[in-house]
Amino acid sequence: MPRAGTGPTITQVAEAAGVSRATVSRVLNGRTSVDPLLGARVKEVAEKLHYRPNLTARNLSTGRTLTIALVLPDLGNPMFQVILRGLSRAAEADGYSVLVAEATSPEREAAIARDARRQCDAVVLVSPRMDDVVLEDLLEQVAPAVLVNRRSPGPRTASVGIDYAVGMTQLVHHLEELGHRELLYVAGPPRSAANRERLAALNDLLDARPAMSLRSLQGGSAMSDGFRVAEQVLDSGATAVLAFNDLVAFGILARLNEFGVDVPGDLSVTGFDGIELSRFAVPRLTTVGQEQLDAGAVAWDLLHRRLVSADGVEGAAPGDGADGALLQPQILLGDSTGRVPPSRAPLAEGGWSVDAPDEDIAQRPLGWLREGRDWTLLHGGALLGAAVTGASMAPVHSPRPHLHPVRSLKGRAMTTTNPVDHRHHFGVSLAVPDVNGTTFWGGRTYVENRGSTLLANHGVQETLEETVGDTGRDLRSSIRWRAHDGSDLLLEDRRTGAFLLPEQQGWGLTWRSRLRADATALTISSPATRGRLGAGYGGLFWRLPGADETRILVEEGRGEPFAHGSTSPFIVVQRRHGNDWTSLVLVQDEQGQGRIDPWFVRASDYIGIGTSFAWEAPREIPRGEQLEVVVRAAVFDHPVIADEVPAIIAAMPPVGDADTPPSSPGAEQSA
């Protein structure tokens, strides 16, 4: 037993365990040459005696400090903080501590690294900015060392790198699918190796895509840099911006918001790094994730093997070879990227003018085409719409499949998503504020006596399966609605058909959904059913972009006061854009639905039109029963007047028969 007033000695541990002092030393210093059973006995005795080694004496005898130095350029960058956290946790598990040194000046990096090495057993250098010749000389002086976020210039130093080519390929491919052809790269610090690698990867990608162009703008690595260059970003004329990192992207987003720029409606923005804050940007940032790769822990693994090897432990990895790791990042889709603005979309090869004869419009093939996880609706190669899963939507928006963009034949935008006034509005969707206490509307929930309140009650509409009918015009989807606790609420069978209206120089959509209460009885309610007058929204909701002038027509008359709450069989939205006009005609199918729901109409603060499942009272759906939603829509590049509506409705195909093309020239063709 230890003597009174003093701690136990290594000799006492050895005597109690029945081994030599040398064996105790090897076990407690982490050597692996001791028999595992013997090592376990030594550790058990040391713990029982509360033995703690004298670190000063041990360090003097072994020449080790059991500390390593981490040298990085900017402690304020969250990406470097992530590396520090991963390295510290991994090193601590092996009995090491981490000292941190910030080299804010590139000219001081080498000196700071040498000073740190004199006090520690090894060095981890993160994103060093010195040139390869200086770096190679430094690494010889401070070995053992590991590089992070920089390729090793010599054969004796391991490195942990990020495959920027993979990350940039994913970003460019994503933007290319959205129709972007004019890209802008906001570059990082000129002496940054990561910046050079990312730009080189972008240039290689764009060399293989002659239809796309890339320009570069000098930025930096901080939020202030993105904020500073945002006006130049706008002046560049690009439709999508790739920022050097997430911080630069945050600065760009903040300044664009001050300018009143719609992201992604007017301009798409991406970041790089996937720091945790990117989830909380407004809109949520599309970026490339590195945090989940835990580069700090990988760096420690490589460094620890070198430290163990230096101690001469059998079986340790040699420290004189340049091994390392090249980590593969993954794109993280957010709300900051969207389809190229219609006015900037390139014309399809062999494109047509909407002033062409009616028969030419009818001759062009129309149909849905699979594009990754989503579907695009093409007419003669021109994009009319897209059906997206909504899987990348932020949970607070109640993720749901929706249509966006929807465009007129002339390419005028007829939908918007994630607008500044209501971030949870997404194109055309089934958006319901309350189903059994779960919101499928997004954003805040109306609570009696409290008003709009942000609750953790957002549900998810998950697409299970999608197919297209024989002609390609009818998209069929099976969608599971899940409550905020993950439980099943209902199963939706959705059919979204497309058709042409050649004589009226327009086109249209049919929407039919069967909401089956297959899991439980359903109660659908709205703020109006809980006392908020006129707020009976919830059903098929169509969010339109703003316009210079908006007019609303229903059977009873003209204007929002006539339309809001009306049970008119149709509603017409006319929008003026300078001297041009577009029109949206929505028609409820009374026979198909078995009813006409009141229209929910907003045309002053924003333009949004929807049907209302629960206008004044909750709607009950017993288990095993279903609710039908049957609506037809038509889009035109001229102001539709009320007298034209009967002829337009007569020309629309019956809902559910959109896959059967009308008898007009070329209608049998499909995409």
For residue 315, what pLDDT band results from cuts at 50, 70 and 90?
very low
Q: What are phi and psi of 468, to 5 degrees?
A: -120, 140
Contact 71, 125 (CB under 8 A): yes
Question: Which span out of 44-53, 156-165, 314-323, 570-579 was modeled with the highest average pLDDT?
Answer: 570-579
Band the pLDDT of 638: cuts 50, 70, 90. very high
Per cent of the chain over pLDDT 70 is 90
| 501 beta partners | 506
Single out the residue in 275, 290, 305 at which a domain terminates: 290
3-state SS string over 547-608? Answer: CCEEEEEECCEECHHHHCCCCCCEEEEEEEECCEEEEEEEEECHHHHCCCCCEEEECCCCEE
Taking the model in full, what pTM does it have? 0.69
Please compute the mean of the pLDDT values over residues 188-204 and round it to a whole number.
91
* Residue 361 pLDDT: 76
Dihedral Cα 465, 468, 469, 473, nearest 10 deg: 140
pLDDT given for residue 53 in this prediction? 67
3 belongs to a structural domain: no
Residues 260 and 320 in one domain: no
Q: How many residues does the chain have?
A: 671
Distance CA 437, CA 508 (A): 34
Q: Which CATH number covers residue 34?
A: 1.10.260.40
> Which is higher by pLDDT, 359 or 331?
331
Question: 273 φ, ψ to 5°?
Answer: 125, -35
Kindly state whether residues 538 and 440 are assigned to the same domain: yes
In a domain, 157, yes or no: yes
- CA 570 – CA 555 distance, rounded (Å): 7
**Mean pLDDT, all residues of the chain:** 88
Q: Read off the tokens for 505.
A: 């120089």
Between 548 and 668, name the one with better pLDDT. 548
Does residue 314 sit within a domain?
A: yes
Range of the domain at 475: 348-651
Residue 467 lies inside a defined structural domain of this protein: yes
- The answer to whether residue 606 is domain-embedded is yes
Using the predicted structure, report yes or no on whether residue 660 has a pLDDT greater than 90: no
pLDDT of residue 418: 86
Residue 486 burial (CB count, 10 A): 8
The single-letter DSSP state of residue 660 is S
CATH number of the domain bearing residue 133: 3.40.50.2300
Least confident of 72-81, 240-249, 423-432, 493-502: 72-81
Q: Do both 374 and 511 map to the same domain? A: yes
Q: Which residue has the higher pLDDT, 544 or 360?
A: 544
Name residue 369's beta-bridge partners: 376
Same-domain status, 193 and 236: yes
Same domain, 172 and 146: no
- Mean per-residue pLDDT, 635-642: 96
List the helix and strand counts (H, then E) for the chain.
16, 34
How far from the centroid of its chain's Cα atoms is residue 39's Cα? 49
> Same structural domain for residues 52 and 152?
no
Query: pLDDT tens for residues 241-268?
Result: 999 999 999 999 999 989 888 899 889 9
For the segment 630-654, the average pLDDT, to the nearest whole number, is: 95
pLDDT band for position 381 (50/70/90)? confident
Give residue 529's region: left, alpha or beta (phi > 0; psi -120 to 50): alpha
Cα separation, 398 vs 433, in Å, equals 10
Query: How do residues 218-233 score in pLDDT, each as one tens digit?
Result: 999 999 999 999 999 9
Q: Is the peptide bond before 405 cis (omega within 30 degrees of 0)?
A: yes
d(CA 152, CA 161): 9
Rounded Cα distance between 386 and 66, Å, is: 58
Is there a contact between 497 and 475 (Cβ–Cβ < 8 Å)? yes
| SS3 label, residue 642 | helix
More confident position, 648 or 658: 648
pLDDT tens-digit series, residues 523-543: 999 999 998 999 999 999 999
Provide the CATH number for the domain around residue 377.
2.70.98
Pair (305, 199) in one structural domain: no
pLDDT at 97: 92
Do 193 and 83 belong together in one domain?
A: no
Among 36, 62, 88, identify where a domain stops. Answer: 62
pLDDT band of residue 307 (cuts 50, 70, 90) is confident
Is residue 339 in some structural domain? no
Give a yes or no: residue 548 inside a domain: yes
| Residue 317 within any structural domain of the chain | yes
Q: How many domains does the chain have?
A: 4
479 and 621 belong to one structural domain: yes
The three-class DSSP label of residue 176 is: helix
Of 504, 157, 148, 491, residue with least CA distance to 305 = 157
206 and 112, same structural domain?
no
Residues 628 and 551 in one domain: yes
What is the DSSP track for 360-406? HHHHS-EEEEEETTEEEEEETTEEEEEEE--TTS-GGG----EEEEE
Provide mean pLDDT across the span 386-400: 92
Looking at the structure, tell me whether residues 385 and 520 fall in a common domain: yes
Give alpha helix (H) positions in 451-579. Answer: 560-563
Count CB atoms within 10 A of the CB of residue 301.
16
pLDDT for residue 575: 97
* C-alpha triplet 474, 477, 482: angle, nearest 5°: 160
